[in-house]
Structure 1
Amino acid sequence: MTHQKITIPTAALILGAAGLIPFVWGALTYLNDTLALWGTEVLGPRFVGPYIQLFYGSVILSFMSGVLWGFATKADGRQATLCYALSVIPALWAFFMTGGGPTGAASNLISGFIGLLLLDYCFFKWGLTPPWWMQLRVFLTSVVILCLGIGVVM
């Protein structure tokens, strides 16, 4: 029995990695005051530290709800109903759970991204995603959680 290597499409990998930039940039500006000052002066205060991570994290959770909704279109009957219902959870989580200060919001986003990864896995196991989906999602989610975690502990 031979196993085929599953390759993430180049465009999906590049765009997914590019989507990490605001998380990584936010973490770097947490860790480096000089970089944070430069970013604040050049880009504005909304684009450094917790501000970029929290706003962008909410956007990405909402975007991923749309991705899951798209996967739900491949299901039928009760499974489709379940998938549509599950697909809105990340967006609702982002909407309701990202207030109350940067540390709490970042902690809640971490929980939201972990929950999203569990939903990704369910949709994957149900055969609704591309075969490379979990390989990409584990990588992206790991980086997101690491970057948000820096904001929680700083």
Structure 2
Amino acid sequence: MDHNMDHKMPLPALILGFGGLIPFIWGTACLYNPELNALSVEMFGPRMSSPFIQLSYGTIIICFISGILWGFSATVEDATLRTYGLILSSIPAIWVFFMVGGGPVQSAINLIVGFIAVLALDFYYNYLGLNPKWWIRLRVILTVFVVIFLGIIAFA
């Protein structure tokens, strides 16, 4: 499959990508609105309070992207490049396993570092032609928003 031929961003990817920002927005709204935070906890349980919404969802999303990069790597014909790609794509999930959970501020900072590092991997994979051309545009936009919302947790 030639990923380089895919220049147009698929509408479902755009919709689902921006839909994936909802937990970050929701958690940020809960941070600044105690009534909404209380309602969120009442409806969904204590892990759905801010900042845990953003931190747990951010962890999930880094692991999700890590898996996508694994999938991009798995399709590479060159065995050496495939191996490096598989190794690199595993690092973000390992990062969050070890670096998220030491308190909300430190966890948010470590997630920010993780998202920026994953974006760097996205650029590297893009350079190698391992991902669709539209992928990097979507990832840059979404990463900017995610870093802003996690920054609010880390530095607010």
TM-score (norm 1): 0.92
1:151 aligns with 2:153: yes
1:52 aligns with 2:39: no
Matched residue SS, 2:133: coil
Q: Which residue of 2 aligns with 1:80?
A: 82
**Separation of aligned partners in 1, 2:54 and 2:9:** 26
The one-letter code of the counterpart of 1:80 is R
Which runs of 4 or more aligned residues in structure 1 lie more than 3 Å from their structure 2 counterparts after TM superposition? none
In structure 1, the gaps of 5 or more residues are 1-5
Give the Å deviation of 1:30. 1.0
Give the Å deviation of 1:113. 0.2
1:142 aligns with 2:144: yes
The one-letter code of the counterpart of 1:112 is G
**Structure 1 contact 25–48 (Cα < 8 Å) conserved:** no
**Number of corresponding residues:** 149
Q: For 1:43-74, what per-residue CA distance to the aligned partner results, in whole angstroms no more than 9, with x for missing partners?
A: 22211211111111111111111100111023
Structure 1 residues 56-67: aligned runs within 5 Å = 56-67=57-68
Q: Which residue of 2 aligns with 1:108?
A: 110
Q: Which residue of 2 aligns with 1:127?
A: 129
Percent of aligned pairs sharing the same letter: 48
Q: Which residue of 1 aligns with 2:17?
A: 16
TM-score (norm 2): 0.90
In structure 2, the gaps of 5 or more residues are 1-6
**Two-structure CA RMSD over aligned residues (Å):** 1.2
